[in-house]
Amino acid sequence: MRADLRDTLIRGARVIDPASGFDQVADLLIRDGRIADFGASLGKPDDALVIDAADAVLCPGLVDMRAALGEPGYEYRETIASAAEAAAFGGITTLAALPDSAPAIDDPALARLLRARGEETASLTILPYGAVTRGCAGQELAELGLLREAGAVAFTDGTHAVGSARMMRLALSYARGFGARIVQHPEDPELAQGGAATEGELATRLGLPGIPAAAEAMLIARDIRLAALTGGAVHFAHVSTAEAVALIRRAKEDGLAVTCDTAPPYFDLNETAIGEYRTYAKLSPPLRAEADRLAIAAALADGTIDAVASDHQPRDADDKRLPFAQATPGGAGLATLLAVSLVQVHNGALPMIRALELLTAAPAALLGVEAGRIARGAPADLCLFAPERAWKVAAGTLPGKAQNTPFDGRALEGVVLGTWKAGRRVHASATP
Protein backbone atom coordinates (compact mmCIF):
# COMPACT_ATOMS: atom_id res chain seq x y z
CA MET A 1 0.00 0.00 0.00
CA ARG A 2 1.24 3.51 -0.81
CA ALA A 3 2.26 5.46 2.25
CA ASP A 4 -0.20 8.29 1.48
CA LEU A 5 -3.18 5.91 1.19
CA ARG A 6 -5.34 4.56 3.97
CA ASP A 7 -8.25 2.16 3.86
CA THR A 8 -11.39 4.30 3.79
CA LEU A 9 -14.95 3.17 4.36
CA ILE A 10 -17.59 5.58 3.09
CA ARG A 11 -20.69 4.54 4.99
CA GLY A 12 -24.38 5.01 4.25
CA ALA A 13 -24.22 7.10 1.09
CA ARG A 14 -26.64 6.85 -1.79
CA VAL A 15 -24.23 5.14 -4.18
CA ILE A 16 -25.04 5.79 -7.84
CA ASP A 17 -23.19 4.20 -10.74
CA PRO A 18 -24.94 5.21 -13.97
CA ALA A 19 -22.83 2.79 -16.04
CA SER A 20 -24.39 -0.25 -14.32
CA GLY A 21 -27.64 1.29 -13.09
CA PHE A 22 -26.69 0.74 -9.43
CA ASP A 23 -28.56 3.17 -7.18
CA GLN A 24 -29.01 2.34 -3.51
CA VAL A 25 -27.88 3.25 -0.03
CA ALA A 26 -24.63 1.37 0.50
CA ASP A 27 -21.11 1.43 1.90
CA LEU A 28 -17.98 1.64 -0.25
CA LEU A 29 -14.47 0.55 0.72
CA ILE A 30 -11.37 2.14 -0.77
CA ARG A 31 -8.17 0.10 -0.48
CA ASP A 32 -4.80 0.63 -2.19
CA GLY A 33 -6.25 3.30 -4.42
CA ARG A 34 -9.04 1.12 -5.78
CA ILE A 35 -12.64 0.26 -5.01
CA ALA A 36 -12.30 -2.91 -2.97
CA ASP A 37 -16.01 -3.47 -2.41
CA PHE A 38 -19.38 -1.75 -2.17
CA GLY A 39 -22.75 -2.85 -0.93
CA ALA A 40 -25.01 -2.88 2.10
CA SER A 41 -23.46 -2.97 5.58
CA LEU A 42 -19.83 -3.68 4.80
CA GLY A 43 -17.68 -4.53 7.78
CA LYS A 44 -15.07 -2.03 8.96
CA PRO A 45 -11.48 -3.14 8.33
CA ASP A 46 -8.99 -2.59 11.12
CA ASP A 47 -7.56 0.95 11.13
CA ALA A 48 -9.83 2.09 8.31
CA LEU A 49 -10.96 5.70 8.20
CA VAL A 50 -14.77 5.78 8.38
CA ILE A 51 -16.72 8.59 6.72
CA ASP A 52 -20.37 8.87 7.66
CA ALA A 53 -22.06 9.87 4.41
CA ALA A 54 -25.73 9.63 5.35
CA ASP A 55 -27.88 11.90 3.13
CA ALA A 56 -24.99 12.32 0.66
CA VAL A 57 -24.60 10.91 -2.84
CA LEU A 58 -21.50 9.00 -3.89
CA CYS A 59 -20.88 8.75 -7.63
CA PRO A 60 -17.94 8.26 -9.97
CA GLY A 61 -15.58 11.19 -10.31
CA LEU A 62 -16.95 13.51 -12.97
CA VAL A 63 -15.58 13.27 -16.50
CA ASP A 64 -15.45 16.70 -18.13
CA MET A 65 -15.14 16.27 -21.87
CA ARG A 66 -14.48 19.89 -22.80
CA ALA A 67 -12.30 22.41 -20.98
CA ALA A 68 -9.54 24.86 -21.79
CA LEU A 69 -6.66 24.88 -19.33
CA GLY A 70 -4.81 28.07 -20.21
CA GLU A 71 -1.54 26.20 -20.24
CA PRO A 72 0.50 26.26 -22.41
CA GLY A 73 0.55 29.88 -23.52
CA TYR A 74 -2.18 31.50 -21.44
CA GLU A 75 -0.96 30.86 -17.92
CA TYR A 76 -2.09 34.35 -16.90
CA ARG A 77 -5.65 33.04 -17.31
CA GLU A 78 -5.27 29.58 -15.78
CA THR A 79 -2.59 26.98 -15.11
CA ILE A 80 -2.87 23.22 -14.97
CA ALA A 81 -2.37 23.41 -11.20
CA SER A 82 -5.11 26.01 -10.69
CA ALA A 83 -7.48 24.13 -13.02
CA ALA A 84 -6.83 20.95 -11.05
CA GLU A 85 -7.78 22.75 -7.84
CA ALA A 86 -11.05 23.98 -9.36
CA ALA A 87 -11.77 20.55 -10.82
CA ALA A 88 -11.32 18.82 -7.46
CA PHE A 89 -13.69 21.35 -5.86
CA GLY A 90 -16.25 20.44 -8.52
CA GLY A 91 -15.83 16.67 -8.19
CA ILE A 92 -14.05 16.31 -11.55
CA THR A 93 -11.33 13.66 -11.74
CA THR A 94 -10.92 13.31 -15.52
CA LEU A 95 -10.80 16.19 -17.99
CA ALA A 96 -10.40 16.42 -21.78
CA ALA A 97 -8.31 19.48 -22.61
CA LEU A 98 -8.89 21.56 -25.73
CA PRO A 99 -5.93 21.93 -28.10
CA ASP A 100 -6.22 25.61 -29.09
CA SER A 101 -3.46 26.66 -26.71
CA ALA A 102 -0.22 28.42 -27.64
CA PRO A 103 1.28 26.39 -29.15
CA ALA A 104 -1.66 24.32 -30.28
CA ILE A 105 -1.66 20.60 -29.46
CA ASP A 106 -0.85 19.59 -33.03
CA ASP A 107 2.38 17.77 -32.14
CA PRO A 108 2.49 14.31 -30.51
CA ALA A 109 5.09 15.47 -28.00
CA LEU A 110 2.72 18.14 -26.71
CA ALA A 111 -0.08 15.61 -26.33
CA ARG A 112 2.18 13.35 -24.28
CA LEU A 113 3.34 16.32 -22.20
CA LEU A 114 -0.23 17.31 -21.35
CA ARG A 115 -0.98 13.80 -20.11
CA ALA A 116 2.18 13.83 -18.00
CA ARG A 117 1.32 17.22 -16.52
CA GLY A 118 -2.03 15.82 -15.44
CA GLU A 119 -0.31 12.94 -13.67
CA GLU A 120 1.90 15.45 -11.85
CA THR A 121 -1.16 17.04 -10.23
CA ALA A 122 -2.03 13.67 -8.60
CA SER A 123 -5.66 14.83 -8.64
CA LEU A 124 -6.68 15.03 -12.29
CA THR A 125 -6.31 12.85 -15.37
CA ILE A 126 -5.86 15.13 -18.38
CA LEU A 127 -6.89 13.67 -21.72
CA PRO A 128 -5.58 15.75 -24.62
CA TYR A 129 -7.58 16.54 -27.70
CA GLY A 130 -5.48 16.72 -30.82
CA ALA A 131 -5.88 19.64 -33.20
CA VAL A 132 -7.73 18.87 -36.43
CA THR A 133 -5.62 21.37 -38.33
CA ARG A 134 -2.13 22.70 -37.74
CA GLY A 135 -2.24 25.54 -35.26
CA CYS A 136 -6.05 25.16 -35.20
CA ALA A 137 -5.88 27.53 -38.17
CA GLY A 138 -8.09 25.56 -40.54
CA GLN A 139 -5.60 25.47 -43.41
CA GLU A 140 -3.72 22.17 -43.23
CA LEU A 141 -4.68 18.85 -41.67
CA ALA A 142 -2.66 17.95 -38.58
CA GLU A 143 -0.96 14.55 -38.15
CA LEU A 144 -4.06 12.88 -36.74
CA GLY A 145 -2.61 9.38 -36.72
CA LEU A 146 0.51 10.36 -34.79
CA LEU A 147 -1.54 12.42 -32.36
CA ARG A 148 -3.83 9.45 -31.79
CA GLU A 149 -0.82 7.23 -31.04
CA ALA A 150 0.36 9.86 -28.54
CA GLY A 151 -2.92 9.65 -26.63
CA ALA A 152 -5.28 12.14 -28.26
CA VAL A 153 -8.81 11.03 -27.41
CA ALA A 154 -10.45 12.89 -30.32
CA PHE A 155 -9.76 15.83 -32.63
CA THR A 156 -11.05 19.39 -32.57
CA ASP A 157 -9.92 22.91 -33.29
CA GLY A 158 -11.45 23.95 -29.97
CA THR A 159 -13.31 27.22 -30.15
CA HIS A 160 -12.46 27.53 -33.84
CA ALA A 161 -14.92 25.91 -36.21
CA VAL A 162 -13.55 23.79 -39.04
CA GLY A 163 -15.11 26.12 -41.59
CA SER A 164 -13.92 24.45 -44.78
CA ALA A 165 -16.21 21.66 -45.97
CA ARG A 166 -13.29 20.09 -47.82
CA MET A 167 -11.12 20.10 -44.68
CA MET A 168 -13.93 18.65 -42.59
CA ARG A 169 -14.52 15.89 -45.13
CA LEU A 170 -10.81 14.98 -45.09
CA ALA A 171 -10.72 14.98 -41.30
CA LEU A 172 -13.80 12.76 -40.97
CA SER A 173 -12.46 10.32 -43.55
CA TYR A 174 -9.02 10.13 -42.00
CA ALA A 175 -10.24 9.83 -38.40
CA ARG A 176 -12.64 7.06 -39.39
CA GLY A 177 -9.66 4.86 -40.21
CA PHE A 178 -8.71 4.61 -36.53
CA GLY A 179 -12.12 4.99 -34.93
CA ALA A 180 -11.77 8.58 -33.75
CA ARG A 181 -14.28 11.42 -33.54
CA ILE A 182 -14.04 14.92 -34.91
CA VAL A 183 -15.43 17.40 -32.40
CA GLN A 184 -16.83 20.51 -34.03
CA HIS A 185 -17.50 24.00 -32.66
CA PRO A 186 -20.80 24.35 -34.54
CA GLU A 187 -20.92 27.94 -35.66
CA ASP A 188 -20.57 29.14 -39.23
CA PRO A 189 -17.44 31.33 -39.01
CA GLU A 190 -18.53 33.90 -41.58
CA LEU A 191 -21.98 34.41 -40.07
CA ALA A 192 -20.48 34.64 -36.57
CA GLN A 193 -17.64 37.00 -37.46
CA GLY A 194 -17.76 40.20 -35.42
CA GLY A 195 -20.85 39.15 -33.48
CA ALA A 196 -21.25 39.52 -29.73
CA ALA A 197 -24.74 38.26 -28.84
CA THR A 198 -27.55 36.25 -30.40
CA GLU A 199 -29.19 38.28 -33.14
CA GLY A 200 -32.62 39.48 -32.13
CA GLU A 201 -34.56 42.07 -30.15
CA LEU A 202 -32.21 42.09 -27.14
CA ALA A 203 -29.04 42.53 -29.20
CA THR A 204 -30.71 45.28 -31.20
CA ARG A 205 -31.85 47.12 -28.07
CA LEU A 206 -28.34 46.92 -26.60
CA GLY A 207 -26.75 47.97 -29.88
CA LEU A 208 -24.67 44.79 -30.08
CA PRO A 209 -23.61 43.10 -33.31
CA GLY A 210 -25.61 39.92 -33.64
CA ILE A 211 -24.85 36.30 -34.47
CA PRO A 212 -27.87 34.58 -36.03
CA ALA A 213 -28.91 31.44 -34.16
CA ALA A 214 -29.06 29.77 -37.58
CA ALA A 215 -25.25 29.92 -37.76
CA GLU A 216 -25.19 26.89 -35.45
CA ALA A 217 -27.74 24.82 -37.34
CA MET A 218 -26.23 25.61 -40.72
CA LEU A 219 -22.83 24.15 -39.82
CA ILE A 220 -24.43 21.18 -38.09
CA ALA A 221 -26.55 20.44 -41.17
CA ARG A 222 -23.43 20.56 -43.36
CA ASP A 223 -21.42 18.30 -41.10
CA ILE A 224 -24.24 15.77 -40.77
CA ARG A 225 -24.19 15.49 -44.54
CA LEU A 226 -20.42 15.07 -44.48
CA ALA A 227 -20.70 12.36 -41.81
CA ALA A 228 -23.17 10.52 -44.06
CA LEU A 229 -20.83 10.96 -47.03
CA THR A 230 -17.69 9.73 -45.26
CA GLY A 231 -19.04 7.33 -42.65
CA GLY A 232 -17.06 9.34 -40.11
CA ALA A 233 -18.07 10.20 -36.55
CA VAL A 234 -18.81 13.83 -35.73
CA HIS A 235 -19.50 15.23 -32.28
CA PHE A 236 -21.02 18.69 -31.88
CA ALA A 237 -19.87 20.63 -28.82
CA HIS A 238 -21.96 22.96 -26.65
CA VAL A 239 -25.12 22.81 -28.75
CA SER A 240 -27.39 25.67 -27.80
CA THR A 241 -30.39 25.97 -30.14
CA ALA A 242 -33.66 24.17 -30.75
CA GLU A 243 -32.93 23.83 -34.46
CA ALA A 244 -29.56 22.22 -33.72
CA VAL A 245 -30.98 19.50 -31.48
CA ALA A 246 -33.76 18.79 -33.99
CA LEU A 247 -31.15 18.17 -36.70
CA ILE A 248 -29.07 15.96 -34.40
CA ARG A 249 -32.13 14.01 -33.28
CA ARG A 250 -33.00 13.26 -36.91
CA ALA A 251 -29.43 12.26 -37.74
CA LYS A 252 -29.42 9.80 -34.86
CA GLU A 253 -32.72 8.33 -36.04
CA ASP A 254 -31.08 7.85 -39.45
CA GLY A 255 -28.31 5.82 -37.82
CA LEU A 256 -25.47 8.28 -38.44
CA ALA A 257 -22.44 8.49 -36.14
CA VAL A 258 -23.51 11.84 -34.71
CA THR A 259 -23.26 12.80 -31.03
CA CYS A 260 -23.30 16.04 -29.09
CA ASP A 261 -22.85 17.71 -25.73
CA THR A 262 -23.98 20.92 -24.15
CA ALA A 263 -22.83 23.02 -21.20
CA PRO A 264 -24.72 24.32 -18.14
CA PRO A 265 -25.18 27.91 -19.38
CA TYR A 266 -27.25 26.68 -22.32
CA PHE A 267 -29.84 24.84 -20.22
CA ASP A 268 -29.75 27.12 -17.19
CA LEU A 269 -29.39 30.67 -18.57
CA ASN A 270 -30.85 32.59 -21.46
CA GLU A 271 -29.75 35.72 -23.28
CA THR A 272 -31.22 38.04 -20.66
CA ALA A 273 -28.29 37.05 -18.41
CA ILE A 274 -26.09 39.51 -20.31
CA GLY A 275 -28.23 42.20 -18.65
CA GLU A 276 -26.75 45.61 -19.22
CA TYR A 277 -23.52 44.47 -20.92
CA ARG A 278 -22.50 41.85 -18.33
CA THR A 279 -19.34 40.48 -19.90
CA TYR A 280 -19.09 37.42 -17.62
CA ALA A 281 -22.15 36.18 -19.54
CA LYS A 282 -20.52 36.72 -22.94
CA LEU A 283 -19.92 33.18 -24.15
CA SER A 284 -19.22 31.33 -27.37
CA PRO A 285 -21.73 30.34 -28.60
CA PRO A 286 -23.70 33.23 -27.13
CA LEU A 287 -26.57 32.69 -24.74
CA ARG A 288 -29.83 32.08 -26.55
CA ALA A 289 -33.54 32.87 -26.34
CA GLU A 290 -35.65 31.15 -23.69
CA ALA A 291 -37.26 28.83 -26.26
CA ASP A 292 -33.81 27.50 -27.14
CA ARG A 293 -32.91 27.00 -23.47
CA LEU A 294 -36.06 24.95 -22.97
CA ALA A 295 -35.27 22.86 -26.05
CA ILE A 296 -31.79 22.10 -24.73
CA ALA A 297 -33.20 21.06 -21.36
CA ALA A 298 -35.72 18.78 -23.10
CA ALA A 299 -32.94 17.24 -25.22
CA LEU A 300 -31.05 16.30 -22.05
CA ALA A 301 -34.08 14.37 -20.85
CA ASP A 302 -34.91 12.59 -24.12
CA GLY A 303 -31.35 11.46 -24.81
CA THR A 304 -30.63 13.61 -27.85
CA ILE A 305 -27.80 15.28 -25.94
CA ASP A 306 -25.19 12.70 -24.99
CA ALA A 307 -23.18 14.52 -22.31
CA VAL A 308 -22.77 17.70 -20.31
CA ALA A 309 -19.36 19.39 -20.29
CA SER A 310 -18.11 22.37 -18.30
CA ASP A 311 -16.99 24.25 -21.44
CA HIS A 312 -14.49 25.90 -19.08
CA GLN A 313 -12.94 28.92 -20.80
CA PRO A 314 -10.74 30.81 -18.33
CA ARG A 315 -10.36 34.53 -18.81
CA ASP A 316 -8.61 37.15 -16.72
CA ALA A 317 -9.95 40.53 -15.66
CA ASP A 318 -8.42 42.36 -18.62
CA ASP A 319 -10.21 39.99 -21.02
CA LYS A 320 -13.57 40.94 -19.52
CA ARG A 321 -13.14 44.58 -18.41
CA LEU A 322 -13.87 45.87 -21.87
CA PRO A 323 -16.95 47.08 -23.73
CA PHE A 324 -19.18 44.06 -24.31
CA ALA A 325 -18.52 43.82 -28.03
CA GLN A 326 -14.74 43.80 -27.46
CA ALA A 327 -14.64 41.54 -24.39
CA THR A 328 -13.31 38.02 -24.88
CA PRO A 329 -16.06 35.38 -24.79
CA GLY A 330 -15.83 32.49 -22.35
CA GLY A 331 -16.93 31.40 -18.90
CA ALA A 332 -15.30 29.48 -16.07
CA GLY A 333 -17.18 26.26 -15.44
CA LEU A 334 -15.24 23.64 -13.48
CA ALA A 335 -16.40 24.57 -9.99
CA THR A 336 -20.08 24.91 -10.96
CA LEU A 337 -20.50 21.97 -13.37
CA LEU A 338 -22.18 19.61 -10.93
CA ALA A 339 -24.29 22.09 -8.99
CA VAL A 340 -25.79 23.78 -12.06
CA SER A 341 -26.52 20.38 -13.60
CA LEU A 342 -28.34 19.40 -10.40
CA VAL A 343 -30.81 22.24 -10.96
CA GLN A 344 -32.40 19.97 -13.57
CA VAL A 345 -32.80 17.29 -10.88
CA HIS A 346 -34.23 19.65 -8.29
CA ASN A 347 -36.81 21.00 -10.74
CA GLY A 348 -37.91 17.49 -11.73
CA ALA A 349 -36.65 17.60 -15.32
CA LEU A 350 -34.07 14.82 -14.85
CA PRO A 351 -33.74 11.89 -12.47
CA MET A 352 -30.52 11.96 -10.47
CA ILE A 353 -29.06 8.91 -12.21
CA ARG A 354 -29.58 10.48 -15.66
CA ALA A 355 -27.96 13.77 -14.60
CA LEU A 356 -24.94 11.88 -13.27
CA GLU A 357 -24.77 9.71 -16.40
CA LEU A 358 -24.40 12.89 -18.48
CA LEU A 359 -21.44 13.87 -16.28
CA THR A 360 -19.69 10.51 -15.85
CA ALA A 361 -20.33 7.33 -17.83
CA ALA A 362 -21.60 9.02 -21.00
CA PRO A 363 -18.60 11.34 -21.59
CA ALA A 364 -16.22 8.52 -20.66
CA ALA A 365 -17.83 6.32 -23.33
CA LEU A 366 -17.62 9.10 -25.92
CA LEU A 367 -13.93 9.58 -25.14
CA GLY A 368 -13.27 5.84 -25.06
CA VAL A 369 -11.66 5.85 -21.63
CA GLU A 370 -11.99 3.68 -18.52
CA ALA A 371 -13.46 6.26 -16.19
CA GLY A 372 -16.81 7.40 -14.86
CA ARG A 373 -17.81 4.13 -13.19
CA ILE A 374 -17.99 2.45 -9.80
CA ALA A 375 -16.83 -1.16 -10.02
CA ARG A 376 -14.87 -3.52 -7.84
CA GLY A 377 -11.20 -3.24 -8.71
CA ALA A 378 -11.61 0.06 -10.57
CA PRO A 379 -9.56 3.09 -9.55
CA ALA A 380 -11.22 4.93 -6.68
CA ASP A 381 -12.04 8.12 -8.60
CA LEU A 382 -15.06 9.30 -6.65
CA CYS A 383 -17.24 12.30 -5.89
CA LEU A 384 -19.25 12.62 -2.69
CA PHE A 385 -21.76 15.45 -2.58
CA ALA A 386 -24.64 16.81 -0.53
CA PRO A 387 -27.38 17.36 -3.12
CA GLU A 388 -29.54 19.62 -0.95
CA ARG A 389 -26.82 21.76 0.61
CA ALA A 390 -27.02 25.36 -0.59
CA TRP A 391 -24.20 27.69 -1.57
CA LYS A 392 -23.82 30.90 -3.53
CA VAL A 393 -21.48 31.39 -6.47
CA ALA A 394 -19.28 34.43 -5.92
CA ALA A 395 -16.66 35.46 -8.46
CA GLY A 396 -13.39 36.14 -6.69
CA THR A 397 -13.90 33.36 -4.15
CA LEU A 398 -13.95 30.32 -6.43
CA PRO A 399 -11.06 27.85 -6.36
CA GLY A 400 -8.55 28.15 -9.17
CA LYS A 401 -7.34 31.18 -11.04
CA ALA A 402 -10.28 31.81 -13.38
CA GLN A 403 -13.18 33.72 -11.82
CA ASN A 404 -15.15 34.67 -14.93
CA THR A 405 -18.27 32.70 -14.08
CA PRO A 406 -21.58 33.52 -15.81
CA PHE A 407 -23.27 32.21 -12.64
CA ASP A 408 -21.86 34.93 -10.38
CA GLY A 409 -24.37 35.62 -7.60
CA ARG A 410 -26.39 32.48 -8.28
CA ALA A 411 -27.72 30.41 -5.37
CA LEU A 412 -27.27 26.70 -6.01
CA GLU A 413 -27.88 23.39 -4.25
CA GLY A 414 -25.22 20.69 -4.37
CA VAL A 415 -21.92 20.89 -2.50
CA VAL A 416 -19.04 18.51 -3.20
CA LEU A 417 -17.97 17.15 0.17
CA GLY A 418 -15.10 15.02 -1.05
CA THR A 419 -13.24 14.12 -4.22
CA TRP A 420 -10.94 11.09 -4.44
CA LYS A 421 -8.41 10.44 -7.17
CA ALA A 422 -7.02 6.88 -7.24
CA GLY A 423 -8.02 6.54 -3.58
CA ARG A 424 -6.39 9.77 -2.43
CA ARG A 425 -8.69 12.46 -1.10
CA VAL A 426 -7.93 15.59 -3.12
CA HIS A 427 -10.78 17.77 -1.92
CA ALA A 428 -12.57 17.96 1.40
CA SER A 429 -15.38 20.36 2.20
CA ALA A 430 -17.23 20.68 5.49
CA THR A 431 -18.33 17.47 7.22
CA PRO A 432 -18.35 14.65 6.50
Query: Distance of alpha carbon 37 from its chain centroid, rounded?
Result: 29
Of 357, 348, 270, 254, which is closest to residue 305 (Cα–Cα)? Answer: 357
Q: How far is the C-alpha of 156 from the C-alpha of 9, rounded, in Å?
A: 41
> Where would I find the beta strands (DSSP E) of 282-345?
307-308
* Catalytic-residue membership of 27: no
Looking at 354-410, which runs of residues are DSSP E strands?
A: 382-392
CA dihedral 356, 361, 362, 365 (to 10 degrees): 170
C-alpha distances out from residue 312 to 186, 297, 298, 328, Å: 17, 19, 23, 13
Secondary structure of 76-140 in the HEC alphabet?
CCCCHHHHHHHHHHCCEEEEEECCCCCCCCCCHHHHHHHHHHHHHHCCCEEEECECCEHHHCCCC
**Apex CA 73: angle with CA 71 and CA 74, to 5°?**
70
The catalytic residue among 311, 319, 381, 408 is: 311
Residue 60: asked if its preceding bond is cis (omega within 30°), the reply is: no
* Residue 201 CB burial class (10 angstroms; 0-12, 13-18, ≥19): exposed
What values do phi and psi take at 373, rounded to 5? -145, 155
- What is the b/e burial string over 310-333, where b = at least 16 CB atoms within 10 angstroms of the residue's CB? bbbbbbbeebbeeebbebbbbbbb
Q: 406-425 burial by CB neighbour count: b if 16+ within 10 A, else e?
A: bbbebebebbbbbbbbbbbb
Task: Give the end-to-end CA distance of the chain in Å, rounded to a whole number.
Answer: 24
What is the helix (H) or strand (E) element at residue 361, kind and residue range?
helix 361-367
- Active site residues per annotation: 311
